[in-house]
Structure formats: structure tokens, C-alpha cells
Structure 1
Amino acid sequence: MQKTLFISDLHLTPTRPDITDCFMRFMQNEAIECDALYVLGDLFDFWIGDDDDSPFARQIKQAFKHLTDQGIPCYFTCGNRDFLVGKRFAKQTGITLLPDEHVVDLYGRRAVVLHGDTLCTQDERYLEFRAKVHQPWLQRLFKCLPMFVRRKLVARIQSDIRQDKQQKSMDIMDVTPSEVVNVMHRHQVDLMIHGHTHRPNIHQNTDSSQTRIVLGDWFEQGSVLIVKHNDFQLEQREFFH
């Protein structure tokens, strides 16, 4: 059976081994039997650089390398937590890095895939942060810092992000409908797949025959989108504690 799998917002971290265990089972038992795997951002809770050689980082890299060595194509779009994933990571794992927006052919139907953060145009404070951290010179400077300094900076950033979220309304952190329309129109597609908002759902616009699929996060359970010919299934995967 032909199928393509999509995941996002796993936020993998050594402090949540239950999420990592679920991810490893998914890679070994499900991804190994798919036509292609797409990871649409925030695979990590925060990626501090491709030179991270910790046991945790090696474990995740090896999982992808094993999959790509078996001939399963893996595609990766950076999210707001793992924008430092780069060419070295791609070379070590065999994955293919995608741009912020990318059009794929899913069994004869074109779809635009993206992380989804750029759709949240009302969250102006986040978009300012995003523009800042995507500056190449700042990323180069960060990667020159010792690992222990990077980890301290990341811990502070994560704390600021949590506080910022508590002060925002849910509507601000969701997608802007007009931006969704703009992106789909720009790429001339009627199907969009993204993550970021942690609001898994399949939205059908009957007036325009457009479909927007939102992937779920992996906080309390895993979330996998299975795409087959003319069929979408958004499923959960249980954590084992």
C-alpha cells in the first residue's frame, strides 16, 4: 500500500524519553514501510547546532540514517525550534532539507508543505524574533560559542517563549486565514499541510475545494498524518511510560 507520512512538533529532548521512545518506534516500525517521510519542523525542542555530538543527538541522527540507508526518502523543513539544522545534519542523516514552503506531488495531487509559523501573521512579536534569528551572521556567531554557553542561552530563550505564550491569546497564535489563501494561491494548489499551531485537524473548504491539514504535536501522544491516494488519516500514537 502506497503511503506518505508526515510528522511535526515532536520537540524531542533528553528530558522527555517517552517522546523519544515513541519516535524511535515510529521510525523502526512505520516509517520503514512508507514511500517518503516528511518532518515539518520542530523535530527538536531546540537544536543548538549540527556539531552537537551528545548521545541524544547521535541517537536521533542514527534513526534517520538507518531509514535513508534503507532507501526511504526523508524530507525536513525547519521550524521555529530547529532552524539551526543545516547541511552537516543533512549529510550525516541522508535527509533532504526543504525551503520554508515547498510543493510536493502526493499521488497526483499537488500540496504545499511548510512548518506553519509564517502563517501566523498576527503574532507580530514572534515574527520579529523569527526574522532576527534567521540572520546568517547571528547564526554563525551562535555556532561559534562553546556548547555550554549555547545551552544556557537556549534555556533562557525557552523560558522567554513560555512566558510570552502565556500572555498571548490563542487567536493570535493561530494561522491567519487570508495568509493561508495567499500561500495556496501563490503555489496554485488546493492542499496545504503544516504544523506549528498544535491544533491537529483536517479543514475542508467546500466552497473552493481547498483542504488544510494541521499536524498534531507530540506532547501527550504522537501524531502522524498518513496520506494515500485520495485519502488522509490523522492518527495518534500512544506513549508508554
Structure 2
Amino acid sequence: MTTLFISDLHLSPNTTDINRCFTQFMRNEAIHADALYVLGDLFDFWVGDDDSSDFAKQVRAEFKQLTDRGVPCFFVKGNRDFLVGQRFAKQTGMTLLGDETVIDLYGRKAVILHGDTLCTEDTQYLAFRAKVNQPWLQWVFNRLPMMLKRKIVGKIQQGARDTKQSKSLEIMDVTQSEVEDVMTAHNVDLMIHGHTHRPNTHRFTSSNQQAMTRIVLGDWYEQGSILSCDPHSLTLETRPFGEK
């Protein structure tokens, strides 16, 4: 009995090692899981559910093979794949979740999320997030020609890279008070998220003296990163990229 969590793979046609590790994980490990949760930024940037590239088709096929075998798959949108929609869900058999979702993890309640909304000091990013998640703007973008969408995405990505270089690490990390507020609001003592690329298990006591645990998933830039949960443990694990 195992439930798996992944996030921040940042898959693209150019991430050959990551793509290979992802495929091996899906076929050799996820296939045996009770469930798989993807907590955002599966893609380096998802341009829309109408992406018909070979890369997009292959990723969709991996999830479809998994769900067809009876493994439930759940997806929380990240800041790189906020354009994932119901068409993608239908094609893959995945279930799209909201920004914050409480799940039952072998009898223990946990709140899961991508993690970007916890970084409340990064006001510039949160303003950008609010803008691009407006339904009318996404409706317009999704109806643009694919070539134009890719050009727009390219500019957004370059702007994000330039902005990130000027930000302090503290601004891009979570705000502890927001973590506690979210956990308290959902009445849980366990939170699981990604986004910050700082894999760790944080145990702390809240302001109301409750013991809490926050688990941060790792990125897949240099190796695969997985949270493996069973009825008795929660373990952060890595997977080497291996031979080509």
C-alpha cells in the first residue's frame, strides 16, 4: 500500500533525462501505487490542452496507461501549468483538484497544494498569478494559434527567469504564518507541497501549540524526487537519472 507524490518535474521536449526518468517512474513504480498525486509544475510550461506535439502526446499517454490500469491520478495546477484543463483531464483519466485539497492519507488528513500561494512575500508573483488565472484571459489565450501562444509563453518564461535572479531566497520561500493559517483553516496537522524546490520535512509547533508537519517535494532537475507514503511512514526519496 503506497501513495506517491511528485511535483516540479518541468518536463519539456528538451529535458531528455527528466523525461526518461519520468517514464521509468510511471511504468515501474506508479503502476503499483494506490494513487499518484502531481502537485503542479509537471511541465516547464503547458501552452494549452490543444498541444498536439509528440511530446505532449507522450506525456498524456503515460498517464492514460496508468489510469487505464486502475491507478487513480490527481493533478494540482502549478505556476507553470495553470492552463491544464478538463480536456487534458479527460484525455489522461486524471482528476483535477483545487488550489488546496484535503485528502485522507491512510487515516490521516493532509492538505495538499502546489505551494506558490504560501509565498506571500513575493507580491510581484502573486499579482502575476492573479492576472493569468482570470477565466476570461485564459479563454482568449486558449483560442490563439499555437505558434502565437508559444511566442507569448517564451516571453513569459524569459521574463520570469530575469525576475527570479533579482529576488532573494527568503522572498521565494513560504511564509510560516501562511502555512499555519492554511493548516489551521483545514484542521490538519500535515501539509504536502512543492514549488520551492527545497525538499525537506519540517516539524514545528503552531502558535496554538499543535504539532504540525510540512513536507516539501523536490524538483527533478538533477534526479527524480518522490514522496512515498504508506500507512506507517512518509519518506522523501530520489531516483537517479541513470544511463542513457
Instruction: Place the TM-score, normalised by the shorter chain, in its bin.
Output: over 0.9
> For 1:217 and 1:105, how far apart are their aligned partners in 2?
24
Q: CA deviation at 1:144?
A: 1.1
SS at match of 1:45: coil
> For 1:51 and 1:21, how far apart are their aligned partners in 2?
23
Q: For 1:71-103, what per-residue CA distance to the aligned partner results, in whole angstroms no more than 9, with x for missing partners?
A: 000000000000000000000000000000000
SS at match of 1:103: strand
Instruction: Name the counterpart of 1:107.
Output: 106
The reply to whether residue 237 of structure 1 matches residue 236 of structure 2 is: no
Instruction: Name the counterpart of 1:190.
Output: 189
User: Percentage identity across aligned positions?
Assistant: 65
> For 1:3 and 1:213, how far apart are their aligned partners in 2?
17
Instruction: Name the counterpart of 1:167.
Output: 166
If the length of structure 1 is used for normalisation, what is the TM-score?
0.98
SS at match of 2:142: helix
Amino acid at match of 1:235: E
> For 2:120 and 2:232, how far apart are their aligned partners in 1?
31
Q: CA deviation at 1:208?
A: 2.5
The reply to whether residue 70 of structure 1 matches residue 61 of structure 2 is: no
Instruction: Name the counterpart of 2:215.
Output: 213
> For 2:140 and 2:16, how far apart are their aligned partners in 1?
31
Q: CA deviation at 1:165?
A: 0.6
How do 1:51-130 and structure 2 match up within 5 A? 51-130=50-129
> For 1:170 and 1:239, how far apart are their aligned partners in 2?
27
Runs of 4+ in 1 over 3 A off after TM superposition: none
Instruction: Name the counterpart of 2:144.
Output: 145
Instruction: Name the counterpart of 1:12.
Output: 11
Q: CA deviation at 1:239?
A: 1.1
Q: CA deviation at 1:191?
A: 0.1
Q: For 1:114-143, what per-residue CA distance to the aligned partner results, in whole angstroms no more than 9, with x for missing partners?
A: 000000000000000000000011101111
Amino acid at match of 1:122: E
Identify which of 226, 229, 236 aligns with 1:227: 229
Amino acid at match of 1:167: S
* Stretches of structure 1 lacking an aligned partner (at least 5 in a row): none
SS at match of 2:89: helix
Q: CA deviation at 1:204?
A: 1.0
Q: CA RMSD in A?
A: 0.8
Instruction: Name the counterpart of 2:132.
Output: 133
> For 2:18 and 2:141, how far apart are their aligned partners in 1?
27
Amino acid at match of 2:5: F
Q: CA deviation at 1:42?
A: 0.3
> For 2:204 and 2:123, how far apart are their aligned partners in 1?
27
If the length of structure 2 is used for normalisation, what is the TM-score?
0.97
Q: For 1:180-215, what per-residue CA distance to the aligned partner results, in whole angstroms no more than 9, with x for missing partners?
A: 000000000000000000000001115532100000
Q: CA deviation at 1:5?
A: 0.1
Q: CA deviation at 1:159?
A: 0.5
> For 1:208 and 1:163, how far apart are their aligned partners in 2?
40
> For 1:237 and 1:12, how far apart are their aligned partners in 2?
16
> For 1:227 and 1:203, how far apart are their aligned partners in 2?
16
Q: CA deviation at 1:229?
A: 1.1
Instruction: Name the counterpart of 1:176.
Output: 175
Amino acid at match of 2:77: C
* Stretches of structure 2 lacking an aligned partner (at least 5 in a row): none
> For 2:29 and 2:232, how far apart are their aligned partners in 1?
20
Amino acid at match of 2:229: V
> For 1:137 and 1:209, how far apart are their aligned partners in 2?
42
Amino acid at match of 1:119: L
Q: CA deviation at 1:230?
A: 2.8
